Amino acid sequence: MQKLFYITKGLENIAEKEIRESLDNPDILEKNQKYIIAETQSQLQKITSLKTVDDAHLLLDKQDFQTKPSSDQIIDNYPSEKLQNAISELSKFRKLGDCFSITVSRYKNKQADIEEIESEIERDISHKINKKFMQNSKNSKIDFRVHLEQRRILYSVRIDSRPLYFREYREKGRKGSLKPSIAAGLVEMADVKPGQKIVDNFAGAGTILCEAQLQGLEVYGGDIDRDAVKCSRENLSNISEEASNQIKRLDGRDSPHPDNCFDAAVSNIPWGKQVDLNEVELYSQTFEEYSRILKASGTLIILCENPELARKHIEKNFPAYSLKSQKLGFLGQNPTVLIARPG
């Protein structure tokens, strides 16, 4: 059965790279800004270990249309004959429980009646797999998804009981915290090797540093906010108590780190409504400080809302670096990732 990988817009190349490197002989059949469809012989356990993918599903069917599909077409084309095979495959991997849920999402297709679709498909699924429908997907262990696009329908079922972006370590969250799969993607962009040192002086909930620790990196950093430092330490301690001790209360514009110390700096610079700071001063002093503490061969990865201002100060403080940018899209926002490397 084909696999459907939901991804964050802008991280499709990073997600594809991880899929190719982590899974067994994957054949990428389709890739766009929202998902990747692939065939692979990898065990489901290996698929659920992916870090830069938002979620992974068994693809029950993909239907393409000449015009926007109606609610009746969406319901009538539901591949109920494939449900038993999918449930059988999942049951070999994990316990499924007695309930299921349905998620209906849509993109550029507002004419479909989501409530009608959910109601009709719910009856079909319940009859075929002999399980009860549950409205709240957070409490069910089987989530069937119907994703509607302008001229396409994707029918699928989630492989794990929770989305892949869920992390056991993440007990604490903060305003502006990154989704873990996005944080993992930013760390992956730095292209550093296990054992190398990475720093984030705007740690917030510590998600970037937690993902870096999971990738085998030596992590350092902190935040100017006491509660953020506490939050980062608590999350990181669920992975490594030793690593959590490296998180300090500090000002990212004037940190206590030694010169030429780190192989990479990866940060989600406060943006949008997260903070009330003088943006010019913040960017100017932040990148001057990162130029001091990064090695001459170090990589800088910055997620920000004002890429032109960030670019100006990165170019000033890293004159020998090449600079690339990548727009992301999530939760209706479109911040930019700036990737600065030597050469």
DSSP 125-136: HHHHHT-EE-S-
Tell me how far apart the alpha carbons of residues 279 and 284 are, in angstroms, rounded to a whole number.
8
Q: What is the pLDDT of residues 197-252, one digit of tens each?
A: 999 999 999 999 999 999 999 999 999 999 999 999 999 999 999 999 999 999 99
Tokens of 54: 């938002």
Q: What is the pLDDT of residues 284-307, one digit of tens each?
A: 999 999 999 999 999 999 999 999
pLDDT score at 177? 83
Burial of residue 223 (CB within 10 Å: 0-12, 13-18, 19+) is buried
pLDDT score at 277? 57
Q: Give the distance from CA 123 to its chain's centroid.
A: 32
What's the DSSP call for residue 72? H
pLDDT at 4 over 50: yes
pLDDT at 276 over 70: no
Q: Is 29 left (phi over 0), alpha (psi -120 to 50) or beta?
A: alpha
pLDDT score at 175? 72
pLDDT at 273 over 70: no
Tokens of 147: 């994703």
Beta strands in the chain (DSSP E): 3-6, 27-31, 35-39, 55-64, 99-106, 132-133, 143-148, 152-158, 197-200, 218-223, 247-249, 262-268, 294-304, 321-327, 336-342
Tell me how far apart the alpha carbons of residues 343 and 212 are, in angstroms, rounded to a whole number.
24
Tell me how far apart the alpha carbons of residues 252 and 273 are, in angstroms, rounded to a whole number.
19
pLDDT score at 274? 45
Tell me how far apart the alpha carbons of residues 337 and 292 are, in angstroms, rounded to a whole number.
21
What's the chain's average pLDDT? 94
Tell me how far apart the alpha carbons of residues 219 and 243 are, in angstroms, rounded to a whole number.
6
In single-letter form, the type of residue at position 105 comes to S
- Decide: helix, strand or coil at residue 145: strand
Backbone angles phi, psi at 327, to 5 degrees: -75, 140
Tokens of 53: 């993918």
pLDDT score at 170? 87
Contact in structure between 46 and 34 (CB atoms under 8 Å): no
- Whole-prediction pTM: 0.94
pLDDT score at 321? 98
